[in-house]
Chain A
């Protein structure tokens, strides 16, 4: 018999395994839908307009929007005009979070997006390609009466992409521009309780700094962070999944090493897939609760990237090894054409990520999209990665087509075969197709959920019970790929029936020649196995 468990398993048992996996899948969805809250939360802040009365722009002073040491503030800029306060004396102050709340390490990350409310005036409008220059400082403290400690300080430039929803005429005066969101801060860990952001928009007429940006009415900051409840559910899931995948991985590798032959490429790739899945699963995030590890966001990206690259490579090799044409593959170098684009694309995205989130470790205000050169560079990386992805999917589709063509070719020869051989062939083809179907279903499900999460509003309510759809998608998809890897390692592990007991059966020996031919044609991937088996059989006889 040929190698894997899936080929030796009865349909009934296969159904039971499928059923159990399905139950786990449902549990994964319900975990996110019913227990976890929405994955992320948003804090809207309108910046308080403080006046820097002391005129000492050099000394570090923190401007608090409220509390005992609050700054002197103005309610609108009309008031500033009356009091002859200049733009350089104005500091926008935002405290994160709201009064009487505190941030928490469970929030994992924090992104802030800036939005400027700019009113249209026919004699003071936003000029073409306007840039806004921001003097941003950020500070933190851990108790309400403590001193602010500086976290980061930078002078940033951002493009101001705004359009007026109404025609540019006298009538539209006072209308606000619709501006693109300006990403401002990205923090990879939320280690402190209170954060304070002070933003200045210094004006320099000679250097044309902050000239021609219209009349700013308000500065708003939207802060996104992961909900503590979601983090807890996510960690719990990871903590449960890590040992599950680890155990099946050890079991799988033990089975392979128990055989006297060396493992074949497909087996190695499945094992590598298991390793990359475990790499994602290991809940190192637990440490982020105690330590201020700002690189967690980047690390998470890398782990995900490795898994995706591994999964894509696996699909190619899986198809290639089931090609059923008499070509000998079984070496990674045979797949360079297909795996090459994956490696190259992943590298591009890795470099891009290092340029964005890597630099943000040093300067949380950095954005590669802020400058023209940066934007072009980023676009170049993304486009190259996109081309690689297209190339890859072209190859993959072609290979899947080839496999199915070979299968139908074999099928036409089926009636001419003996009964046992035909049944066996049909079973093999069915199981291969079954696996293709599962892979396709998983991929389709991921895509459907991705699209749904892009358009829906995040939660559905059925008579009082709120289902957090976005959370359900995250936990569900994550659980699904874990189960996929689990099933792969379980079903494609070498079967016990491979060696030892099966050859003792006299009836089978009659078919052995036929069987040999059969296994070499279908799972030629097990080439070395066949050689070994042939040798073994000869020795036996």
Chain B
């Protein structure tokens, strides 16, 4: 399939999705917008509309750090659709947190899938950081979309608390004398803002009427809902003599590991869907329906997919599978990380390794460990 002709029909109707502008970004002129749109279509070829976003490659770029002095150039981020480009230019301040959020998501994905046949492998020298694995609408795609959009929301909420960003929630929609928003009624919760940013930015490209877009939208939203669901309410009493006559409560974020654990559970219980086509005024629209009517239909917190995953046992450049050859396995485990399952029945090699290790350590709360050195012998099992 050539890069030239194919993307055009998809590009043409993409602007329809621009109606839902909840952040009320200052509008650009239509002409300019169209120009930029066509430009991005032509330059990035079919990659703009790969199964998953190319801008996730932000996660691997070390330079996009919230403390980096070098500003992010919106034009240099690959694979942004015009709406995202516009967002990036208007809210350049929070783009480092968006990048950090995706990074957080990818790290968590690697942690959650560390012992599995597909271990969330990323490819450093490609813009499509997961290779072709996520091009199909599999469970893995569902998980990565959810964790990435959750990561963006999480990182934005967190960066708002660093206090250096002027657009986080304050001064907005508060009554009282004009110009006194903050003095009159303080700030609103940062959580809503983080969710809003994630929705605006991560969902911007998922406006096509095809099944994959519907799936990505659903899974992105599931990730964000998880963030909101896992917020803890903390309260402080400060009334008469510190009694609870006056009490102030606020929401705090959980650690991202808890989000990862929860979404991993959702990955295991993800709902399989079937694609249905409807004819509507704007053309063919694909929607998803639960495949098995017997099971409970998926809620907004569940992950959905409609294509089966490859088995990831053998390397296959087409599916993007690396195979499990030479992967370390756990000989005592009967789970997926055990040598039987991970090596897909091919058996494993065993070698002994002497490792110098740190032991009897005294830890400080940060950055310093004083240890003795011990030598330990390990058996290392790798798949054939």
To the question of whether A and B form a pair in one complex, the answer is yes
- Interface residues, chain A, CB within 8 Å of chain B? 37-46, 48, 65-66, 73-75, 77, 80-81, 84-87, 90, 94-95, 97-101, 104, 106, 109, 111, 113, 115, 117, 119, 121, 123-124, 165, 174-176, 181, 183, 201, 203, 205, 210-211, 213-216, 220, 222, 224-225, 227-229, 232, 301, 304-305, 349, 352-353, 356-357, 450, 453-454, 457-458
Q: How far is the CB of B195 from chain A (nearest CB, A)?
A: 16
Q: Which residues of A contact B244 (CB under 8 A)?
A: 454
B162 within 8 Å of A (CB atoms): yes
Query: How many angstroms between the C-alpha atoms of A453 and B243 in the bound complex?
Result: 13
Q: Which residues of A contact B162 (CB under 8 A)?
A: 45-46, 48, 65
- When C-beta atoms are compared, the residue in chain B nearest to A104 turns out to be B183
Q: Which residues of B contact A80 (CB under 8 A)?
A: 366-367
Q: Which chain B residues lie closer than 8 Å to A41 at the CB level?
A: 185-187
Tell me how far the C-beta of B149 lies from the nearest C-beta in chain A, rounded to whole angstroms. 21
**In the complex, A349 Cα to B234 Cα: how many Å?**
26
- Residue pairs across A and B with Cβ atoms less than 8 A apart, 26 shown, are A37-B176, A40-B186, A43-B163, A43-B186, A44-B190, A45-B162, A65-B163, A75-B66, A90-B367, A94-B163, A98-B166, A111-B236, A113-B236, A115-B234, A115-B252, A117-B255, A119-B255, A174-B257, A175-B258, A216-B366, A220-B252, A229-B180, A232-B184, A301-B241, A357-B241, A453-B247
Q: Which residue of B lies closest to A96 (CB)?
A: B163
- Give chain A nearest CB distance to B241 CB in angstroms: 5
A interface, over-half SS: mixed
B241 and A349 within 8 A (CB) = yes
- A45 to B366 Cα, complex, angstroms: 20
B364→A87 contact, CB < 8 A? yes
Instruction: For residue B110, give the distance in angstroms from its CB to the closest CB of chain A.
Output: 12
C-alpha gap A42/B186 in the complex (Å): 8
Extra pairs beyond A40-B246, A41-B186, A229-B183 (15, CB < 8 Å): A40-B186, A65-B164, A77-B367, A86-B364, A98-B165, A109-B238, A113-B236, A115-B234, A175-B258, A181-B234, A203-B365, A222-B252, A228-B184, A228-B185, A453-B247
**Which residues of A have CB within 8 Å of B366?**
77, 80, 86-87, 90, 215-216
Among B134-142, B167-175, B198-206, which stretch is in contact with chain A?
B167-175
Closest partner residue, chain A, to B163 (CB atom): A98
Instruction: Decide yes or no whether B216 CB sits under 8 A from chain A.
Output: no
B284 in contact (CB, < 8 A) = no
Asked if B161 CB lies within 8 Å of chain A CBs, one says: yes
Known A-B contacts A37-B176, A48-B162, A115-B252; the reply to A216 vs B67 at CB < 8 A is no
Closest partner residue, chain A, to B191 (CB atom): A44
From A42, A45, A106, contact of B248 by CB (8 A): A42
Residue in A37, A97, A225 whose CB lies within 8 Å of B163:
A97
Residue B125 interfacial (CB < 8 Å): no
Closest B residue by C-beta to A107: B183
A174 CA to B260 CA, complexed, in Å: 12
Among A85, A123, A213, the residue within 8 A (CB) of B367 is A85
Determine the chain B residues whose CB is within 8 A of the CB of A232 once the complex forms. 184
Q: With A41-B187, A44-B190, A45-B161 as known contacts, state yes or no: A356 contacts B242, CB within 8 Å.
A: yes
> Quick one: which of B165, B238, B241 has the most chain A CB within 10 A?
B241
**Closest-CB distance, A423 to chain B (whole angstroms):** 44
Q: A203 with B364: in contact, given A73-B67, A111-B236, A224-B236 (CB under 8 Å)? A: yes
Smallest beta-carbon distance A74→chain B, Å: 8
Asked whether A224 and B234 contact (CB < 8 A) given A45-B161, A176-B255, the answer is no
Query: Which residues of B are at the interface with A, using a C-beta cutoff of 8 A?
Result: 65-67, 111, 158, 160-166, 168, 170, 174-176, 180, 182-187, 190, 234, 236, 238, 240-242, 244-250, 252, 254-255, 257-258, 361-368
- Say yes or no: A123-B236 contact (C-beta < 8 A), given A46-B161, A97-B163, A229-B184: no
- In the complex, the chain B residue whose C-beta lies closest to that of A378 is B242
Top 5 A-B residue pairs of the complex, sorted by shortest distance between their CB atoms: A41-B186, A37-B185, A176-B255, A229-B184, A124-B363
**Minimum CB distance partner of B234 in chain A:** A181
Which of the listed residues B165, B184, B248 has the most CB atoms from chain A within 10 Å of its own CB? B248
Residues from chain B with Cβ under 8 Å of A45 in the complex: 161-163
Q: Are B248 and A175 in contact (CB under 8 A)?
A: no
The docked-state distance in angstroms from the alpha carbon of A87 to that of B190 is: 30
Interface pair B186/A75, CB less than 8 Å apart: no
Contact in complex: B365, A87 (CB < 8 Å): yes
Q: Is the CB of B240 within 8 A of A301?
A: yes
Complex CA distance for A98 and B310, rounded to whole angstroms: 49
Tell me if B238 and A106 are in contact (CB < 8 A).
Answer: no
**What chain B residues lie within 8 Å of A42 (beta carbons)?**
186-187, 248, 250
Interface residue from B163, B176, B249, B365 paired with A214 (Cβ < 8 Å): B365
Known A39-B246, A100-B166: A106·B365 in contact at CB below 8 Å? no
Given A37-B176, A43-B187, A104-B183, A210:B161 Cβ within 8 A:
no
Q: Which of A77, A106, A222 has the most CB of B within 10 A?
A: A222
Q: Which residues of A contact B258 (CB under 8 A)?
A: 165, 175-176
* A contact residues around B234 at 8 Å (CB): 115, 181, 222
A111 to B242, CA, bound (A): 11
Kindly report which residue of chain A lies nearest to residue B111, judged by CB atoms.
A174
Q: Are A40 and B362 in contact (CB under 8 A)?
A: no
**A37-B174, A98-B168 in contact; A353/B241 too (CB < 8 A)?**
yes
Chain B minimum-CB-distance residue to A40: B248
Which residues of chain A have C-beta atoms less than 8 A from B170's C-beta? Answer: 98, 101
Cα distance, A304 to B243, chains bound together (Å): 12
Beta-carbon contact of A216 and B361 below 8 Å: no
Q: Which of B158, B163, B166 contacts A95 (CB 8 A)?
A: B163
Residues on the B chain within 8 Å of A175, using CB: 255, 257-258
Q: Which residues of B contact A165 (CB under 8 A)?
A: 258
Cα separation A183 to B242 with both chains bound (whole Å) = 11
A229 to chain B: closest residue by CB: B184
In the bound complex, do residue B361 and residue A124 qualify as a contact, i.e. CB atoms below 8 Å apart?
Answer: yes
Complex partner residue of A216 from B66, B186, B365, B368, CB under 8 angstroms? B365
- Do A99 and B164 have beta carbons less than 8 Å apart? yes
- Expressed in whole angstroms, the Cα–Cα distance for A45 and B254 within the complex equals 15
**B371 to chain A: closest residue by CB:** A123
Q: Which residues on the A side are within 8 Å of B250 (C-beta)?
A: 42, 44, 222
List chain B residues, Cβ under 8 A from A124.
361, 363
Minimum CB–CB distance from B360 to chain A (whole Å) comes to 10
Residues of A within 8 A of B174 (CB): 37
CB of B240 within 8 A of CB of A224, answer no
Q: How far is the CA of A211 from the CA of B368 in the complex (A)?
A: 11
Nearest CB of A to B137, in Å: 30
Question: Smallest Cβ distance from B92 to chain A, in angstroms?
Answer: 15
| Residue in A37, A75, A203 whose CB lies within 8 Å of B67 | A75
Closest chain A residue, CB of each to CB of B367:
A80
Q: Could you say which residues of chain B place their CB within 8 Å of the CB of A213?
A: 365
In the assembled complex, how far is the CB of residue B371 from the closest CB belonging to chain A, in whole angstroms?
10
Evaluate contact between A37 and B175: CB separation under 8 angstroms: yes
Q: How far is the CA of A214 from the CA of B241 in the complex (A)?
A: 33
How far in angstroms is the closest Cβ of chain B from A93? Answer: 10
Q: Which residues of B contact A214 (CB under 8 A)?
A: 365
Instruction: Return A374 CB to nearest CB of chain B, in Å.
Output: 13
- Residue B161 contacts which of A44, A121, A349, A453 (CB distance < 8 angstroms)? A44
Q: Are A224 and B163 in contact (CB under 8 A)?
A: no
- Inter-subunit contact A229/B365 (CB<8 Å): no
Which chain A residue lies CB-closest to B358? Answer: A123
Task: Please determine whether B363 and A215 come into contact, CB atoms closer than 8 angstroms.
Answer: yes
* Interchain CA distance A457-B242 in the complex, whole Å: 20
Say yes or no: B185 contacts A229, CB within 8 Å.
yes
Q: Are A86 and B368 in contact (CB under 8 A)?
A: yes
**B359 nearest CB across to chain A (Å):** 9
| A46 with B365, Cβ < 8 A, contacts A37-B174, A301-B240 known | no
List B contacts of A111 (CB < 8 A): 236, 238
| Residue in contact with A46 in the complex, picked from B158, B176, B246, B368, CB distance below 8 Å | B158
Q: Which partner residue on chain A sits nearest B236 by CB separation?
A: A113
- Least CB separation from B190: chain A residue: A44
CA distance A95 to B363 in the complex (A): 29
Name the residue on B nearest A109 (C-beta).
B238
